[in-house]
């Protein structure tokens, strides 16, 4: 029959909180309870009867608690098939009582690793008996209900109430799926811990925390986010983050992480910076970033590396933007910014911690290390007769950081720690440069004395020639072309300076 009455239960859990109401409900239904160790004592302290697994098996808990439930009298009672007479005969012959409900959670392995504990403490949190019990009960879902997390306790109580102590096949199968979700996630965390040292090229990802998004990249696409955003952000105001918001937020967080010395503000659109500047304070940095492109800023993602002050909030309050991210907000700034009900305000609590990026591709996945290389003055190789000035070097570092986080092919033009314009995602580097020059002029910037950054080398001298004619005086690029010297020679002929970094920053 699909419906099964629960007459017996095995309970052995690490976390005892929220368990008492479950025990009370089982006793109300006259369910026989088997238990071990600390869980058994917990039930006894509640004043309820409980049978010891040790008495059932005839064996005590041994090896410091490593072996408690690994016994045929336990697993036979869980795995015995109630619709097969041979199984029932064997259960009776070996005096194995059937077990209808298994309530077991797992040692906190993931939490112990995250705490920075010593390896021996971590190893002791590799659960053996618990995960075996969960898998056994889930496998035999036709007869056994599996509760594998304290998060399911209330659902269990509701189930017992509505079914008067009985469960249906569909209900048991649902909880079996939840059990295998928990056990598979647990095994992946263990593998990934052990693989830190061996470094086997394996891709094993499991993330149980998730949120359903309004839709994906477009309204006709379904979308989810898997992960715990609350570890990185506190949302203070506004509507739910969308799929596109999240993609842009990651780009913004990665970009602003490059700037940790001066107050810096950036405005992004479709993952590219349309404005970014460093200045004496955040309000001024915002104003300079906004000046870079007053059109694209509409509907953008804003991010700051410093507290949003009242002055900064007043400067941006009339701009329509999707998201603002900052490490802090003054109370007066919040009051101003909350005037628009859908405006998303986030406090960033941590930087990106993942050192790898994964993407589904064709019939598989590609994985790479994040581009964690930031070009500094120490990386610059001066290759022209005229050495770049200190002012130019500072601007080149700034421009190089922005280029690293801009879609290829890209050219970035900057001066005085301000983005003047960029050419983004062009199929030709020449087109990217022409786009940047035209855009800078459209927004009223004089490029005389500006600098240029390229995410990759120049195969021909055409880009430096175009840049020179526009007034640009210094260039940063990776170098590495067989025609590098042609670009160097042209720069020398125009008294320009150029530095090589030796590092390409493609971004697709």
- Contact 101/10 with Cβ under 8 angstroms? yes
Beta bridge partners of 356: 369
Angle 52-54-55 (CA atoms, 0-180°, nearest 5)? 70
Do the strands 381-382 and 166-167 form a parallel or antiparallel pair, or are they unpaired? Answer: unpaired
- CA 283, CA 308: separation in Å to the nearest integer? 8
Distance between CA 419 and CA 414 in Å, rounded? Answer: 5
Q: 412: closest CA among 469, 452, 457?
A: 452
- How do 4-5 and 166-167 pair as beta strands? antiparallel
Q: How many residues does the chain have?
A: 508
Residues whose CB falls within 8 Å of the CB of residue 274, separated by 6 or more in sequence, listed in order: 267, 268, 292, 293, 296, 297, 300, 422
Question: Among residues 7, 125, 139, 239, which one is catalytic?
Answer: 139
Fill in the DSSP letter of residue 307.
-
Closest listed residue to residue 77, CA positions, set 32, 37, 42:
32
CA dist., res. 508 & res. 251, Å (int): 12
The DSSP string of 379-429 is: G-EE-SSSPPPHHHHHHHHHHHHHHHTSPSS-EEEEETTEEEEEE-S-SSH
- For residues 351 and 290, give the distance between their C-alpha atoms in angstroms, rounded to a whole number: 24
From the number of C-beta atoms within 10 Å of its C-beta (0-12, 13-18, 19+), residue 146 rates as: buried
Residue 30's nearest CA partner among 195, 138, 165, 225 is: 165
Rounded to whole angstroms, how far apart are CA atoms 415 and 107?
56
Give the separation between CA 96 and CA 81, rounded to whole angstroms: 13
Q: Which residues fall within 8 angstroms of residue 86, CB to CB, at 6 or more apart?
A: none
Q: Which residues contact 47 (CB under 8 A, 6 or more apart)?
A: none
Of the residues 270, 338, 340, 373, only one is catalytic, namely 270
DSSP 315: H
Contacts of 40 (CB under 8 A, 6+ apart): 50, 52, 53
- Distance in angstroms (rounded) separating the CA atoms of residues 111 and 117: 9
The count of other CB atoms within 10 Å of the CB of residue 426 is: 18
CA 284, 290, 293: angle at the middle one, nearest 5?
150
Residue 508 is among the residues annotated as catalytic for this protein: no
Q: How far apart are CA 279 and CA 288, in angstroms?
A: 8
Structure tokens at 58: 């005839």
Q: Both tokens of residue 307?
A: 């507290």
- Is 139 one of the catalytic residues? yes
Active-site residue list = 139, 270
């Amino acid at each position: 029959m699909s419906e099964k009455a629960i007459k017996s239960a095995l309970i052995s859990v690490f976390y005892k909180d929220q368990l008492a109401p479950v025990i009370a409900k089982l006793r109300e239904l006259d369910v026989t309870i088997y238990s071990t160790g600390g869980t058994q004592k917990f039930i006894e302290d509640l004043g309820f009867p409980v049978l010891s697994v040790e008495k059932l098996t005839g064996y005590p808990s041994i090896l410091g608690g490593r072996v408690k439930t690994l016994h045929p009298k336990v697993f036979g009672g869980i795995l015995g098939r109630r619709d097969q007479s041979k199984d029932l005969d064997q259960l009776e012959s070996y005096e194995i009582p059937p077990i209808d409900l298994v309530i077991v959670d797992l040692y906190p392995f993931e939490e112990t690793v995250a705490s920075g504990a010593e390896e021996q403490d971590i190893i002791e949190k590799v659960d053996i008996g618990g995960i075996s019990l969960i898998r056994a009960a889930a496998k035999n879902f036709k007869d056994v209900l599996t509760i594998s997390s304290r998060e399911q306790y209330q659902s269990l109580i509701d189930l017992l109430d509505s079914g008067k102590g009985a469960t249906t096949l569909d209900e048991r199968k649902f909880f079996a799926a939840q059990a295998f979700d928990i056990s598979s996630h647990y095994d992946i965390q263990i593998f990934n811990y052990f693989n830190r040292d061996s470094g086997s090229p394996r891709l094993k990802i499991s993330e149980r925390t998730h949120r359903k998004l309004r839709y994906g990249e477009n309204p006709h696409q379904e979308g989810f986010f898997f992960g715990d955003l609350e570890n990185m952000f506190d949302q203070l105001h506004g509507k739910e983050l969308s799929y596109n918001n999240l993609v842009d937020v990651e780009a913004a967080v990665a970009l602003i992480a490059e700037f940790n010395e001066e107050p810096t503000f950036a405005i992004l659109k479709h993952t590219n910076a349309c404005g970014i500047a460093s200045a004496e304070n955040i309000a001024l940095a915002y104003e300079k970033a906004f000046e870079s492109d007053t059109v694209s800023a509409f509907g953008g993602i804003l991010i700051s590396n410093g507290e949003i002050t009242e002055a900064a909030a007043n400067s941006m309050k009339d701009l329509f933007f999707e998201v603002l991210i900052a490490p802090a907000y003054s109370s007066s700034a919040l009051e101003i910014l909350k005037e628009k009900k859908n405006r998303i305000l986030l406090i960033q609590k941590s930087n990106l911690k993942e050192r790898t990026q994964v993407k589904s591709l064709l019939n598989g996945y590609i994985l790479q290390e994040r581009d964690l290389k930031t070009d500094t003055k120490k990386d610059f190789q001066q290759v022209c007769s005229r050495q770049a000035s200190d002012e130019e070097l500072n601007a080149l570092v700034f421009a190089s950081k922005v280029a690293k986080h801009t879609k290829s092919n890209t050219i970035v033009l900057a001066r005085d720690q301000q983005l003047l314009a960029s050419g983004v995602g062009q199929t030709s580097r020449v087109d990217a440069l022409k786009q940047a020059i035209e855009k800078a002029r459209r927004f009223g910037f004089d490029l005389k004395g500006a600098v240029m950054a390229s995410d990759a080398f120049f195969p021909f001298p055409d880009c430096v020639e175009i840049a020179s004619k526009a007034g640009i005086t210094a260039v940063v690029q990776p170098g590495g072309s067989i025609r590098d010297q042609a670009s160097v020679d042209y720069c020398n002929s125009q008294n320009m300076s150029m530095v090589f970094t030796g590092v390409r920053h493609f971004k697709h």
